[in-house]
Amino acid sequence: MTSSNFVMPGDRVSSIEDLAKTKRVILGPGLRRLDDKVVASKAGPLRHKEPNTFWVDNYQRRYVPARGDLVLGIVRAKAGDVYRVDIGSADVATISYLAFEAATKKNRPDLNPGDMIYARVLNANADIEPELVCVNSNGKRGKLGVLQDGFFFKCSLNLGRMLLRENCPALGALNEELPYEIAVGVNGRIWVKAHTPRDTLGLVNAILSLENAGYAEIEKVCGNLTEVMQT
Amino acid sequence: MYAKHNKPKLSRGVLDMKFMQRTKAKVDKEADDEQGRALYSNEISGNMLNSNSNFIIEPSYSICEGLIDGRLSFRGMNPELERLMELEQAEKQVKTKQEQPKEVSDVEMAKYMQRKFNGKNDFNKRKPNAILNNKAFKPKKQKHHFMKPREDDDSGEAEA
């Protein structure tokens, strides 16, 4: 992954166009195709992942649902056969009460307004409400489901994504400090749980201190996490 | 269409078995795709099918960047979750192991094995080639074919 250059909305990205003449190219968020032209639709650094994926890593706090994303949501209301869940997107998401492990029409999951769930986006379309599920294709819960206790806070979408990069040193650095449990949604919402409230708040401060760290500085900031947690 | 209907399918009972879960997911996906294609077949224009664009649009950051699952637990905070994480890790390792380059190529291996077993391959040599090639000569195996099944065996199976 390299950060080569910045693009602004409307910029043509000719490097991708050239590449697309010979092989297939995956255009991620922030890039649009207009016939044979590739145009940026967001402002930020253009990212590239081998072999052929491109996207714009812009700063954003508003989540735009995309199929397959893992998100944190807060149950807002029961509405007939579905729960309405706030995932920070423009529209409230829905989750069917059958989309939980071992749920049946008679045996509904015990969810109440205010509960926190970790779910996968099943359906994301500009014209309809996003739909969530808490089971995988085998009907198993896996890592999804209700989150008990803990502490919840919001951050930028970039921070959530940065923590989830495969080689991100932050979570490992925190692990050296104390045992904890975490759920990071790509919708810029994080839930953490440690043994004591003091530890939990330390974690929250440490994670939020990474907000302004770029790809390059992150390792340096992670070295200082201990200090942040103790203050 | 006719050929598709005749395609052998695994029965639901078999697919529900525990070790068939992966195949089940595959079969389900195929059926889903088929249904989707049938549903939208009259909405897809020829232009949409035939234009071979090299661009694939992927609206999800998680897939583009290859992000990990964001539900993690460390040092025994949530043992159930940590077990899942371990399983996932093990699965990943198996995948990467398979990607390791071969130190001995398939051709070399074949040559080696040929050399190794050339001396011991008396089994085939002992049989005269005439027997193997002569079509008139009935192989021993076919003898089993004509054996009469025991009667009580047969009735037992019918009942079951």
Which residues from B are below 8 Å from A when comparing CB atoms? 21, 24-25, 28, 53-78, 81, 84
What is the CATH number for A32? 2.40.50.100
What is the CATH number for A203? 3.30.1370.10
Residue B126 confidence (pLDDT) above 60: no
| Substitution target from B18, B33, B58, B87 for chain A, most A beta carbons within 10 A | B58
Q: What average pLDDT does this structure show over B113-141?
A: 62
What is the CATH number for A137? 2.40.50.140
* Under 8 Å between Cβ of A158 and A59: yes
Average pLDDT, chain A: 89
CB-based contact A186 B84, cutoff 8 Å: no
Least confident of B1-5, B32-36, B69-73: B1-5
Residue A160, in any domain of the structure: yes
Residue A21, in any domain of the structure: yes
Residue B160 confidence (pLDDT) above 60: no
Residue B156 confidence (pLDDT) above 70: no
Name the closest residue on chain B to residue A69, using Cα atoms: B62
* Under 8 Å between Cβ of B78 and B86: no
For position A188, what pLDDT does the model report?
94
Residue at which a domain ends, from A112, A147, A182: A147
Comparing CB atoms, the residue among B21, B67, B72 nearest residue A171 is B72
Residues A36, A75, single domain; the answer is: no
Token readout for B112 is: 């080696």
* Under 8 Å between Cβ of B54 and A20: yes
Pairwise CA distance, residues A55 & A44, whole Å: 10
Residue B137 confidence (pLDDT) above 60: no
- Helix, coil or strand: residue A228: helix
Q: What average pLDDT does this structure show over A176-197?
A: 93
Number of domains in chain A: 3
Residue A105, in any domain of the structure: yes
Residues A104, A170, single domain; the answer is: no
Token readout for A130 is: 């996003």
Q: What average pLDDT does this structure show over A104-123?
A: 93
Tens-digit pLDDT profile for residues A116-150:
999 999 999 889 999 999 998 888 888 999 999 99
CB-based contact B64 A29, cutoff 8 Å: yes
DSSP B18: G
Comparing CB atoms, the residue among A23, A137, A143 nearest residue B54 is A23
Residues A34, A95, single domain; the answer is: no
Pairwise CA distance, residues B110 & B126, whole Å: 23
Query: A52: how many CB neighbours lie within 10 A of its CB?
Result: 16
Comparing CB atoms, the residue among B55, B68, B74 nearest residue A27 is B55
For position B1, what pLDDT does the model report?
45
- Helix, coil or strand: residue A119: strand
Percent of all residues in chain A with a pLDDT value above 90, rounded to a whole number: 58
Residues A79, A129, single domain; the answer is: yes
Residue A61, in any domain of the structure: no
Residue A63, in any domain of the structure: no
ipTM score for this prediction:
0.84
Domain containing A92: what range? 70-147
Comparing CB atoms, the residue among B53, B55, B75 nearest residue A175 is B75
Tens-digit pLDDT profile for residues B68-84:
999 999 998 899 999 99
Residue B140 confidence (pLDDT) above 60: no
Distance from CA of B67 to the nearest CA of A (A): 5
- Select the more confidently predicted residue: A152 or B15: A152
Residue at which a domain ends, from A33, A56, A79: A56
Residue at which a domain ends, from A97, A116, A147: A147
For position B157, what pLDDT does the model report?
47
Least confident of A8-17, A49-58, B8-17: B8-17
Pairwise CA distance, residues A24 & A51, whole Å: 10
Residues A173, A120, single domain; the answer is: no
- Select the more confidently predicted residue: A90 or B11: A90
